[in-house]
Amino acid sequence: DIQMTQSPSSLSASVGDRVTITCRASQSISSNLNWYLHKPGTAPKLLIYAASSLQSGVPSRFSGSGSGTDFTLTITSVQPEDFATYSCQQSYSTPWTFGQGTKVEIK
Amino acid sequence: QGHLVESGGGLVKPGGSLRLSCATSGFTFTDYYMSWVRQAPGKGLEWVSYSSSGGSTINYADSVKGRFTISTDNVKNLVFLQMDSLRAEDTAVYYCARTSVKWFGDLLGWYFDLWGRGTLVTVSS
């Protein structure tokens, strides 16, 4: 199975800060990498698919980059509604696997 | 846009069975695969299974293979997850997720582009 490792596990940020989350795969997954946002009690939301494609309706402050084993999710100016848990997921091969999540909290 | 609503969760004893349902609306059901993803307490997300709309292509995580069965009703636009021989480690919130498949050049990408709010399954004596 492909292991996905996110860093950091959590971070504190102020509104307006630039936030960067990284995701590393245990083997090359080309660009088969997706990012999700999740808040407790709500439906998870797709942000980025195929490493860098912005899902329709997602604000342009979100962006994704990377290929192979190393990927990054960036929020250029974090907003109050962005405080949540972010997870990466590889769809290169089954079993599709997720990172452990990065919790973004208000400083 | 679409909407997914899971139901059928609850408390069940180890070794017991439960059947989850996912009601879908607002999109053409047969255009998509459908998946189940779960999240155990304090853990990350875990993909469980996916199915094509007609059931011709199905896949399971090793942790549930032989115990869980995914199925679809293309008339009522429903997705089911039959869970048998349940274990304590199956305790989780189970999410239904619409699964898109798309070619990006020579890369076939899969992603969960619509999720429900989940239903809680607790396996405990």
Cα–Cα distance between A4 and B40 in angstroms, integer?
A: 17
pLDDT (0 to 100) of residue A23? 98
B62 neighbors B47 (Cβ within 8 angstroms): no
Q: How would residue B106 be classed by pLDDT, with cut points 50, 70 and 90? A: confident
User: Which candidate from B59, B109, B114 shows the least CB-CB separation from A32?
Assistant: B109
pLDDT tens digits for range B49-78: 999 998 899 999 999 999 999 999 999 999
**Strand B107-115 to B119-123 pairing:** unpaired
Q: How confident is the model at residue A76 (pLDDT cuts 50, 70, 90)?
A: very high
pLDDT value of residue B104: 83
pLDDT tens string A19-65: 999 999 999 999 999 999 999 999 999 999 999 999 999 999 999 99
Q: How far is B16 from chain A (nearest CA, A)?
A: 25
Interchain CB contact of B81 with A (< 8 Å)? no
Residue A70 confidence (pLDDT) above 90: yes
Share of chain A above pLDDT 70, in %: 100
Mean pLDDT, residues A90-104 taken together: 97
Task: Give the span between the Cα atoms of B6 and B95, in whole angstroms.
Answer: 7
